[in-house]
Structure 1
């Protein structure tokens, strides 16, 4: 049954690719997708399962909890299990229930089939990134280049080659922001309806990521002008206030309470010292205040591990991903200038996710390995701007921009109206 599920997920990936893209684009992207899918399975079997690199731990936790859910289903019937039934799965219900379906069908752990599910979501994420890059104005060639980079990005590859939830989180976040940006281009209520289950799922994967998507969502819903102005920024910010109040009243303030608790827990000195206990831990001279020493924390959040940082083999491997990230970040600054001139509202949508998210992570910064995983959604959104910079060097794009613009057809002068008695 396990191998059948692996083949089924590969067939599902082919079906979605041809359904969501045109035949020409699907024929171009599918070989890369299948290679990316197969690579993740190979990495799982040859690297992750025999633990050649000592990394992770939560991946095995999710699989163990999935086994508990499968046992619960056999005893009490099939339903979505939450923290009310099994307290240990609080705030990670979706990954555990998703893997539990595989465990239930295979009547055992079935790590390869679970990895196939995560690998499929990673490949779907690549498709969303490809469409997202084209949406903000990247050329097809630059979008495909970004598609290949994301498909084999080392950090994403490792975290989607086992039962981690980071790939699931990245897929949900990027898809939500893609729908927001698409609504900025052309409003469609169906996109908003599609965001409801996505945000609900994200809430049960990483709850705080829903709030990180809230500001871009408000911008996508607000009637902002194409050219960003100070007034539009103020209006969008003010629109967020009644939305937050409404959400707080709908659930009795439980969502905001959870956000505050998670932020305070992540920023607490005890948790940060505990996270810094590993081999890649970092402590800052901030006097116990999470908001102090913010500049070096931001530096570590964005750029760690540095080339000179000593550490384990896993950390050294992480530097490969970091060098790619430096390249993407440099090109993203160039791409942001192009998007500023072309569509400031879209740039505002991206920045409203990148900047607050980076600052929030910086206040909890205590471990290079942890922040290496957490910044993946930010890294993916930033890489979209890099695709715009690559478009500027696309020969076909430069050729199209060099073409002289066709002059508008001359408007004929209005003819005098005929007066009565003049017609013969």
Structure 2
């Protein structure tokens, strides 16, 4: 039964690629994504049980919780198990319910099918990245190279070859931002209805990331037309962080309280020591900061570690050393992202603001929880993905006149024949 599910998941990937992309693009993309899918299953088989190095963490807990949900369904019938209903499924209810569904269907553990499901979602993210890059103004060449890089990025491949939730989180984040940017170009009821389940799913995967998406989406949909300077970004970000994390009397709604509780839990000294000690120092990836016990202390150093670690000179385990390959690629993506950001700044400042209003607050929020290099490298995957979108612009040839439309222009570039006619 497990192998049948894997076959069905592969078929779903083929259908999704052909439905989500034009036929000529789908023919080029499908072999790439099938290879990426197979690479994830191979990594799962090789790394399961620590065959090459010590590999494990949240995925083990998610598997255990999924089994508990499946057992509950056998007793009481199938129903969505919420965070409150499960008690300890804090911030991962949807993810564990998905894994539990596979276990319930197969009446037992299904590690390969679970890995296949995560691989499918990772490949769907690649499709979304391609479409998002094209919407931003990248040409087919730049968007295709972005898809290839994301599909085989070592860290992303590793953490979408098992039941980690990071691939699901990244997919929901990028898809939400893509729909939000699309709404600024052309607002339709269908897009608004699509955004609601995406944010709901993100809330049930990682609640505070839903709020990180709501801020740029709200500003984008509200009709903000231009950015006077980067000072506006800094001021808006600072005000948003203060409102969300400092003044309890401003917003006392249950969702915001739940988000703040989760963030404060991740910032708590006990959790910080646990992340740095139990899973960190033993493998050489734990980090301590002189912050006087405040999550906002030593914020500059924490931000550097959040965005740039592991550094080339960092000692540690074999897994950490292999992680440096991914980090070197991340450094290159940052450089290309800056170049692509400059190009987008000249053409569509509103869209660039939307992306930055996700990147900057998210980086600051993650920095306040920084305690382990390996953990933060996994958590920053959404930041890497959103930054990589700008790389596609840098990898594109000189954009056509139709792509250089002002803010609020067409969502996708016109056909080449039409562009040629305009130029002539």
Q: What TM-score bracket applies, with the shorter chain setting the length?
A: 0.7 to 0.9
Residue 287 of structure 2 is matched in structure 1 by 282
Name which of 364, 367, 380 aligns with 1:362.
367
Residue 415 of structure 1 is matched in structure 2 by none
Change (3 A) 1:13 1:275: same
- Distance, in Å, in 2 between the alignment partners of 1:290 and 1:204 is 25
- The reply to whether residue 34 of structure 1 matches residue 34 of structure 2 is yes
Shift of the alpha carbon at 1:64?
Answer: 1.4
CA RMSD of aligned residues (A): 2.9
Deviates more, 1:88-97 or 1:47-56: 47-56
- The reply to whether residue 139 of structure 1 matches residue 144 of structure 2 is no
- Distance, in Å, in 2 between the alignment partners of 1:79 and 1:326 is 44
For CA contacts below 8 A with separation 6 or more, give which structure has more relative contact order: 2
- The reply to whether residue 12 of structure 1 matches residue 12 of structure 2 is yes
Residue 65 of structure 2 is matched in structure 1 by 65
Residue 321 of structure 2 is matched in structure 1 by 316
- The unaligned stretches of length 5 or more in structure 1 are 409-424
SS of the aligned residue for 2:85 comes to coil
- 1:295-374 correspondence runs (5 A): 295-374=300-379
Shift of the alpha carbon at 1:360?
Answer: 1.1
Name which one, 1 or 2, has greater alpha-carbon Rg: 1
Deviations 1:328-363 (A, max 9, x none): 001111111111100000000000000111111111
- Distance, in Å, in 2 between the alignment partners of 1:155 and 1:177 is 22
- Distance, in Å, in 2 between the alignment partners of 1:377 and 1:194 is 20
SS of the aligned residue for 1:319 comes to helix
- The reply to whether residue 185 of structure 1 matches residue 147 of structure 2 is no
Shift of the alpha carbon at 1:85?
Answer: 3.1
- The reply to whether residue 390 of structure 1 matches residue 395 of structure 2 is yes
Deviations 1:61-103 (A, max 9, x none): 1111111111111110111012333223232111111011110
- The unaligned stretches of length 5 or more in structure 2 are 405-418
Deviates more, 1:80-89 or 1:325-334: 80-89
- 1:151-166 correspondence runs (5 A): 151-166=151-166
- The reply to whether residue 380 of structure 1 matches residue 385 of structure 2 is yes
- The reply to whether residue 228 of structure 1 matches residue 227 of structure 2 is yes
Deviates more, 1:319-328 or 1:287-296: 287-296
Change (3 A) 1:342 1:77: same
Relative to the length of structure 1, the TM-score reads 0.87
- Count residues in correspondence: 398
Change (3 A) 1:232 1:76: same
Q: Is the 8 A contact 2:138 2:399 kept in 1?
A: no
